A and B are shown apart, each in its own frame.
Chain A
Amino acid sequence: MSSFSVTEPSNRSKWIAGFLVITYALITMIPLVWILLTGFKSPADAISYPPKVVFDPTLEGYVNLFTTRTRQTQEFLEANPPQNWADEIVRQYDMVIVGPSKFGERFMNSVIIGFGSTFLSIFLGTLAAYAFSRFKVPLKDDLLFFILSTRMMPPVAVAIPIFLMFRNLGLSDTHLGMILLYTGVNISLAVWLLKGFIDEIPREYEEAALIDGYTRFQAFYKVVLPQAATGIASTAIFCLIFAWNEYAFAVLLTSANAQTAPPFIPTIIGIGGLDWPAVAAGATIFLIPVMIFTILMRKHLLRGITFGAVRK
């Protein structure tokens, strides 16, 4: 676009627009920055009244997040001097570290279930999307609409039978059960997005390959998949973000074994009350991957969040 274009905004209006948008962006960041800061406060500073903006940073929140601690008698404490900096921190409450907390496990569950269901959604989704894109499928539009409409269903409408079904099949609180469930929720997104990406790959490439003697399968593997790689990667990230953040099913269907981080983080308690620095530390660690993905994904963001309905 040339600067002589009549549609190019004037410098002054650009400046005002920039100022307003940046102001909004800064305001919108405040809660996130506050989460980050709270993670480095001591529990007393975190609930100090009025709130403290300037404080002595400490790793207490992170120590509390990753360990379980127990209160000990004075004799024991005197007989066993603290061994490292983490121990040092908990000693001020007459406590000692007795082992790791559940956070590591919960985080790993999020990773296993998130990546597992993403892989499955992409695998099945790519196959279905390819078929919808390239072949004549009877009732194609109806099937595609059916796939989309499952996403509109409130999770609560199916939660009760899913609970009963999982109970009968022994899938409650298992990684497999959660992977299947999240795949069932994600697959509609995967099919729609991937179909859009595959539609954009010219058919001529495959046709040339078929003429060269490739089978359909080979053409799919060798020609279509490499071409769709970017689309597959961005679809994968959207599936992953959903599975990563999901709460309602996780809280109903998982407990000791397969519980993911979102139901766990809001319940991290310290001595008595909620341990806000540990909660904030957990939230920070949990949110960082999503933030990185968002930045990586910024080009495909729009397509992902609208089921491919809007492209930039």
Chain B
Amino acid sequence: MSDRTVDRVAQATPKRVARKIRGLSDRAIAWIFISPTIFLLLAINIFPLIWTIQLSFTNYKANRIGREVKDVGFKNYERILTDSDTWLNMQATAHFLFWTIFFQVLIGFTLAWLINKKFKGNDLWTTIIVLPMMLSPAVVGNFWKFLYQPQIGLFNYIVSWFTGKEPSSFEMLGSVTLAPWAIVIVDTWMWTPFVMLICLAGLRSIPDYIYEAAEIDRASKLRQFLTITIPMVLPFLMLAVLFRGIENFKMFDLVVQLTGGGPGSVTELTSINLKREAFEKWRTGYASAYAIILFVTVFGLASIYVKALNKVKQR
């Protein structure tokens, strides 16, 4: 029997305590079970968040221990929001967000649709396709930098093989026009499987009888696709977009390893700039204000989006 562990635990517990535990009400047990989790979340998430808000109104620098800390009111916020570089970073982030989501949805949905044709061995190939998203983004970013080397990297040679262009004639990470796309390519390579999996779940959730009914009504395949498949998968797709959006707004490791924000600042996403301000320049107060601005932006956008998602679900 499998009850031995329990008995041992019960025996090992001093009698008085044991009786107490046995006698606990459900309500007390519920709180004992939940409170460690809540406490940990308060300590690691909520308390730091409040602290960040407080720091954001000061000129504190964490690397100057003896320096006087002054209250500066909204000056940090003012400085950030009036700095044109902030808006350039926001633009870079928006470009990255929009195009990664666009390609991931496009390719991810197509793949899911194809896999749903249930050809032989589709399970095996699905697992292979999923591999990239399980890897460490830092390690992946670092290695893609190597693949993008114009003379020694594989990527340029493969492109050259298909297009006939000289491999060293373009620099994926070094050119102002290509670098924003280079990071989109790597992110798409890594995360398309994520969107694909969710779409696949959506496709598989559509009961066959709906198609059968449509077939009886002699609806064309295209019409079935537009009026059944797309609307039924849409809530799943929107969920995928939400997850990718939040993740890519936080994006740091992959891009830091790939470009470090360069060339110039064209791939300097907001999270990269924040890391520089906070832990390289050590402008703690300023960086805290920046963090709060980003946090409010993500939370605001996400809540609007979730409202829209719920509407789609209700339909």
Contact = CB atoms under 8 A, between A and B. Distances in A.
A222 B121 contact: no
A241 B139 CA distance: 14
B175 interface: no
Contacts of B265: none
Interface string B97-136: 0000000000100010011011111110111111111111
Contact of B130 (A17, A298, A309): A298
A216 B135 contact: no
B44 A158 contact: yes
A18 B115 CA distance: 7
Contacts of B21: 215, 217
Contacts of B239: 306, 309-310
B234 to A, nearest CB: 13
Interface string B215-231: 10000000000000000
B44 A162 contact: yes
A56 B26 CA distance: 67
B6 A222 contact: yes
A51 B36 CA distance: 54
Interface string B231-254: 000001001000100100110110
Nearest to A127: B33
B43 interface: yes
B30 A17 contact: no
Interface stretch (A58-66, A99-107, A182-190): A182-190
Contacts of B184: none
Chain A's interface size range is: 35 or more
A165 to B, nearest CB: 7
Contact of A247 (B126, B252, B287): B252
Contacts of A160: 48, 51-52, 55, 62, 278, 284, 287-288, 291
A271 interface: no
B198 interface: yes
Contacts of B200: 302
Contact of A156 (B30, B208, B278): B278
B271 interface: yes
A84 interface: no
B151 A50 contact: yes
Nearest to A9: B117
Interface in A88-125: 124-125
Interface of B: 2-3, 5-6, 9-10, 21-22, 24, 26-27, 29-34, 36-38, 40-41, 43-49, 51-52, 55, 62, 107, 111, 114-115, 117-123, 125-144, 146-147, 151-154, 157-158, 167, 189, 194, 197-198, 200-202, 204, 208, 211-212, 215, 236, 239, 243, 246, 249-250, 252-253, 257, 271, 274-275, 278-279, 284, 287-288, 291-292, 294-295, 298-299, 302
13 contacts: A18-B119, A31-B154, A46-B152, A49-B151, A50-B167, A127-B36, A136-B30, A154-B294, A157-B294, A158-B49, A183-B40, A222-B3, A298-B130
Given A127-B32, A215-B21, 17 more contacts: A5-B208, A6-B215, A18-B117, A34-B147, A34-B154, A124-B36, A152-B302, A158-B45, A216-B24, A217-B6, A221-B9, A290-B136, A295-B127, A302-B197, A302-B198, A306-B243, A310-B198
Interface of A: 1, 5-7, 9, 13-15, 17-18, 20-22, 24-25, 28-32, 34-35, 38, 46-51, 124-125, 127-128, 130-132, 135-137, 143, 146-147, 150, 152-165, 180-181, 183-185, 187-188, 191, 215-218, 221-222, 226, 241, 244-245, 247-248, 252, 262-263, 265-266, 276, 279-280, 283, 286-287, 290-291, 293-295, 298, 301-302, 305-306, 309-312
* Shortest beta-carbon contacts, A-B, top 6: A184-B44, A18-B119, A161-B48, A131-B33, A161-B51, A266-B142
